[in-house]
Structure 1
Amino acid sequence: MTTATATATATAAATATPAPAGAPAAAPRRRAGDLDGFRGLAALSTVAFHVWQQYTAYDAQGAHPPVANPYLDAALSLEVIDLFFVLSAFLLARSYARAAIDAGSTRPARTFLFRRAIRILPLYVIAVLVVWATRNPTLPGNWPDLLEHLTFTHVFDQERIFYTLGPTWSLSLEVLFYFVLVGLGPLAVRACRRLHRRGSRIAVCAAGCLFLYAAPLVWITVAHYVLRIPHTDWVVYFGPQARFGGFAAGMGLAVALTALGDRARLTPRTALALTALALAGLFVLSHRSEAESFTFTYYHPIATALWTLLVFGTLHIRRRTVWNRFLTARWLTAVGLVSYSLFIWHEPVMLLLHNAGLLPQGPAGFPWALLIVFVAALLAATASYWLIEYPAGLLGRLKDSHGRSRDFYPEPALL
């Protein structure tokens, strides 16, 4: 699963909205905390999912999960990749939505891509090189695998899609989305500026997002029901043509919240009802997704819609609820801060512990293995954040808000 992450500053800026007259504002820092909490939950769920996957046994009779309770099994096997996609697209598309609907401004594409590069690449490249080198001690090793990971093209390779850093197939889609966004975003802004009515501009943006969400649905339907391609064809069902619906939904959420502004904010009771509905729907979806069933085939489009509903009900509110207070708990936002490092390192840490014989064996050892991996991966993620992510983030100061290089040593002014 992926982590589409944004810096705390970018998150706060993207989620800041003015307060309605006479109503208390939800501070941008609290909004940023909500999203950090989402990232923390998603990262922890991703770790649990991969430990659960590691301990699931497979034979001719099918899969045998490490827990007998079907409801606990549904919670552990819940996939959160679509939440990462929704959050990433929502944050990154918000400025384009404002520019298209309300004539706001956007950063130049080079500035956007530069900031995304310093956010994603330093940690990713270091992790790929370290893990690949440990698994390929003699040269040339599996050099196509290294090349594909460094160029984010492993998602298009049926054999190597899960090599080296298995969960990072989603980063291939994340990077591709960056280029799609800087290509389509300015086009949408130009098209909307020709329209005089705000409602028309909203309709154009919403229609574009709906098309991008529907296209993967059509692809999945044709692939599964017409061409009869099995779900183990990773390139077909993990590629952008099948998974871009998550990004489209996040873009649609950015359009919706921009269009609504401070109107029709949800009461705490309504917000909690939407939260409960979305979480229940996600649980049922995970519980009912037997291989090749309808819910299994359309798992990700359905999950995307439910995650989008959950985020909407969390952000577009009049007053904060117990759910918001949970998301902004210090321990959870701390996990959210290191969520990208946790996403990158948890699988190598788990496999290292497993190969060293430090994880208990068999289904009975699963709870202890889960605890051990959580602790080890969080320690590794915290060190990785402060040693790699945070210093790399300082590179953003090389350019100003307009994308121009900063002059750190200006010549003395001449009198």
Structure 2
Amino acid sequence: MSAEAAPARNRASAIDGFRGLAALSTVAFHVWQQYFRYDAEGAHPPVDDPALGAVLSLEVIDLFFVLSAYLLTLSYARAAIDGRSTKPARLFLFRRTIRILPLYVLAVLVVWAMRNPTLPGDWRDLVEHLTFTHVFDRQRIFYTLGPTWSLSLEVLFYLLLVALGPLAVRACRPLRRRGSRVAVCAAGCAALFAAPLAWIAVAHYVFGVPHTDWVVYFGPQARFGGFAAGMGLAVAVVALGDRGRLGPRTALPLAGVGLAGLFALSLDSGPENFTFTFYHPLASLLWAGLVFGTVHVRQQTFWQRMLTARWLTTVGLISYSLFIWHEPVMLQLHKAGLLPVGQSGFPLAMLIVFAVALPVAAASYWLVEYPASLLGRLKDHRGRPREFYPEPATR
């Protein structure tokens, strides 16, 4: 392997490591929610240690948003800032479609059919999930596949990106100074980040909308800050270039600040305080800083070596399947009486869910995700149908 290829491969493996950590944390978080007890005295978490509870209850959906926006915005940032070419929108959307739709549609149909054994069932729930509009339904937002409300935002972000990305490229093309092009891209990302902040502030402090109004606080108008942070990260990486890569003395403290900040947010997330209200925009910035201090480095750091461990990158490979199937697995285990009851059963329940969900996710990846990904070869780099020629006959 060449000297240039090794760092690139390490950075890609680190992204897979992030995905693996996020997927594992998502499973732990939802088991945590399952064992949270509410009574007249309030909420009681299944772990008495506040520090351990903060780790287990850390929400990582913003990391998924940041990673997705960062990776998908890079090509547009390079085109806008350095004049490189971009892939056609149709190719981008085609590859995104084959990436998420086959597994998602299969899971929605299977889980919905299990929960609606007689027709017509809750047909509106099925239609909303298949059209990614359940995030706008306060009642059904968490039906069928609860965590997939975030996929609705992903799909909307794809459409936003293919609309705004080319506009940014055109706006930057007449600008001669590279710094001006960087400023235009950065300003656009800042505006996209500020809009959800303003929405949340007005909704909470002006109109007093409760945090349980899911459509208000889970919709794109409130959660697109995570994507904007990832877009800003892509702009920063391209703007700094290889010369701006961080050394270990800068990268490790930056990653440490990100981790410490995320831990503090999770620890201090009372339902009515400032950090709770603006938890997700703040978390997005911290995740962006953490990712930046991990991938934009000159040499591999201790933190990057942890993320690139084989077992973690393997989980990252199947992370989408794990994200899709872990909740139905958990609920089926609970329905079958295979999970211990009571708050004291939380640690064992988490191990059981992991023990079942990980093999299910691995099977799902190899049987559904990977075969679907091969469809990407049907189009070339310009988005045109690829021609396949038969092998010449040999004697």
Matched, 1:384 2:364: yes
Matched, 1:224 2:204: yes
Whole-Å Cα distance in 2 between the matches of residues 197 and 324 of structure 1? Answer: 34
* 8 Å Cα contact 1:26/1:319 also seen in 2: no
Correspondences of 1:103-252 after superposition (within 5 Å): 103-252=83-232
Whole-Å Cα distance in 2 between the matches of residues 411 and 280 of structure 1? Answer: 57
Aligned to 2:59: 79
Whole-Å Cα distance in 2 between the matches of residues 291 and 39 of structure 1? Answer: 28
Aligned to 1:345: 325
Aligned to 2:70: 90
Residue identity opposite 2:171 in structure 1? A
Aligned to 1:277: 257
* 8 Å Cα contact 2:7/2:299 also seen in 1: no
Whole-Å Cα distance in 2 between the matches of residues 279 and 56 of structure 1? Answer: 24
Runs of 4+ aligned residues of structure 1 deviating over 6 Å after TM superposition are none
Q: 1:410–1:334: structure 2 CA closer, same or farther, 3 Å change rule?
A: closer
Whole-Å Cα distance in 2 between the matches of residues 146 and 203 of structure 1? Answer: 44
Q: 1:55–1:102: structure 2 CA closer, same or farther, 3 Å change rule?
A: same
Whole-Å Cα distance in 1 between the matches of residues 102 and 263 of structure 2? Answer: 35
Residue identity opposite 1:186 in structure 2? P
* 8 Å Cα contact 1:118/1:396 also seen in 2: yes
TM-score norm. by structure 2 comes to 0.97
Shift of residue 27, structure 1, vs aligned partner: 2.5
* 8 Å Cα contact 2:23/2:316 also seen in 1: yes
Secondary structure at the counterpart of residue 27 of structure 1: helix
Give structure 2 stretches of 5+ with no counterpart.
none
Shift of residue 408, structure 1, vs aligned partner: 2.0
Secondary structure at the counterpart of residue 244 of structure 2: coil
* 8 Å Cα contact 2:23/2:323 also seen in 1: yes
Aligned to 1:261: 241
Matched length: 391
Shift of residue 409, structure 1, vs aligned partner: 4.5
Shift of residue 59, structure 1, vs aligned partner: 2.1
Whole-Å Cα distance in 1 between the matches of residues 298 and 310 of structure 2? Answer: 23
Whole-Å Cα distance in 1 between the matches of residues 205 and 43 of structure 2? Answer: 23
Shift of residue 226, structure 1, vs aligned partner: 0.2
Shift of residue 411, structure 1, vs aligned partner: 12
Q: 1:264–1:28: structure 2 CA closer, same or farther, 3 Å change rule?
A: closer
Aligned to 2:291: 311
Q: Which deviates more from structure 2 when the two are superposed, residues 62-71 or residues 304-313?
A: 62-71
Shift of residue 265, structure 1, vs aligned partner: 2.1
Residue identity opposite 2:148 in structure 1? T
Whole-Å Cα distance in 2 between the matches of residues 205 and 267 of structure 1? Answer: 26
RMSD over aligned Cα atoms: 1.4
Residue identity opposite 2:116 in structure 1? N
Aligned to 2:382: 402
Whole-Å Cα distance in 2 between the matches of residues 115 and 46 of structure 1? Answer: 25
* 8 Å Cα contact 1:26/1:320 also seen in 2: no
Residue identity opposite 2:70 in structure 1? F
Whole-Å Cα distance in 1 between the matches of residues 39 and 216 of structure 2? Answer: 24
Q: Which deviates more from structure 2 when the two are superposed, residues 60-69 or residues 157-166?
A: 60-69
Whole-Å Cα distance in 1 between the matches of residues 111 and 51 of structure 2? Answer: 35
Give 2:300's match in structure 1, choosing from 303, 308, 320.
320
Give structure 1 stretches of 5+ with no counterpart.
1-17
Aligned to 2:345: 365
TM-score norm. by structure 1 comes to 0.92
Whole-Å Cα distance in 1 between the matches of residues 209 and 289 of structure 2? Answer: 30
Identical amino acids, percent of aligned pairs: 76
Q: 1:162–1:95: structure 2 CA closer, same or farther, 3 Å change rule?
A: same
Residue identity opposite 2:244 in structure 1? A
Residue identity opposite 1:312 in structure 2? F
Secondary structure at the counterpart of residue 63 of structure 1: strand
